[in-house]
């Protein structure tokens, strides 16, 4: 994970709480602006919001994804994001295949 300090001027303009999002890094590698991933209108598609934010930030500089905190932006590597996505997929897959009677059988065995 790479941690980028957010300049006070950017915090004053953009910050209003911790959350996930994207940041634009200027030519010197400093956070120039950021956007929150969960700030979109009810009628707006989250995918459209993400594409719009990334496109707007790309006009400023290199776009990174991660977590916004009180004074820093923690960049997540694409490998880490992919691992988390793969774990979610695996968990869903295992939940679908888990025998429904496992818990019941164990409870009956304890009470027997």
The confidence score (pLDDT) of residue 85 equals 56
Asked if 58 and 22 touch (Cβ cutoff 8 Å), the reply is no
Within 13 A of 97's CA, how many CA atoms are on the CB side? 6
The confidence score (pLDDT) of residue 7 equals 95
In total, the chain counts a number of residues equal to 112
pTM of the model: 0.66
Cβ neighbours, 10 Å, residue 112? 5
- Tell me which residue of 72, 89, 81 sits closest to 50, measured CA to CA: 81
Query: What is the mean pLDDT, run by run of 10 residues, along the chain of 112 residues?
Result: 92 92 94 93 87 95 92 74 57 62 43 39
Distance in angstroms (rounded) separating the CA atoms of residues 27 and 22 = 16
């Amino acid at each position: 994970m790479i941690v980028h300090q957010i300049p006070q001027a950017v915090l004053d303009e953009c910050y209003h709480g911790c959350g996930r999002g994207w940041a634009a890094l200027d030519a010197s590698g400093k956070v120039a602006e950021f956007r929150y991933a969960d700030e979109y209108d009810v009628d707006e598609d989250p995918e459209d919001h993400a594409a719009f934010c990334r496109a707007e930030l790309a006009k400023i500089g290199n776009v990174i994804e991660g977590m916004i905190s009180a004074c820093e932006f923690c960049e997540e590597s694409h490998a880490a994001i992919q691992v988390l996505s793969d774990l979610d997929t695996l968990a869903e897959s295992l939940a679908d295949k888990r025998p429904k009677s496992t818990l019941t059988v164990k409870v009956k065995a304890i009470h027997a």
